Amino acid sequence: KNEVEQSPQNLTAQEGEFITINCSYSVGISALHWLQQHPGGGIVSLFMLSSGKKKHGRLIATINIQEKHSSLHITASHPRDSAVYICAAYMNYGGSQGNLIFGKGTKLSVKP
């Protein structure tokens, strides 16, 4: 079982819809990273957060450390938002600096 789970795996929306992508994790973490992977394959960072909420344009990320859950919201979705959204968690265990654990991603398709 993956320590970081995302839902849904696939999501199709109409342009303008409000979108929510969920991420849950099974162990203690220090921070969560939301990433976007473009259809061409490139990966860019959207947010890094350890508590509360962050907003950037039409994107909002929230995290509840106690409930081990984070959400990524997209308001007024647009076809250019079509991409794979990945959450990755920095786990608390060990001293390794390579302890970023990735979810499998949520593939979002926004139809015009």
Partner 1 sequence: NAGVTQTPKFRILKIGQSMTLQCTQDMNHNYMYWYRQDPGMGLKLIYYSVGAGITDKGEVPNGYNVSRSTTEDFPLRLELAAPSQTSVYFCASSYSAGEYYEQYFGPGTRLTVT
Residue 41 makes contact with partner 1 by CB under 8 A: yes
Question: How far apart are alpha carbons 112 and 104 in whole angstroms?
Answer: 26
2 binds partner 1 per the rule CB under 8 A: yes
Contact between 102 and partner 1 (CB under 8 A)? Answer: yes
Edge-first strand order for the sheet with 19-25 is 4-7, 19-25, 69-74, 59-64, 52-56
Binding mask 52-91 for partner 1 (x = CB under 8 A): ----------------------------------x-x-x-
Answer yes or no whether residue 43 interacts with partner 1 by CB under 8 A. Answer: yes
Contacts of 53 (CB under 8 A, 6+ apart): 60, 61, 62, 63
Residue 8's alpha-carbon distances to 65, 72, 92, in angstroms, are 20, 12, 25
Is residue 30 part of the contact set for partner 1 (CB under 8 A)? yes
Binding site for partner 1 (CB under 8 A): 2, 4, 30-31, 33, 35, 41-45, 48-50, 86, 88, 90, 96-98, 100-105
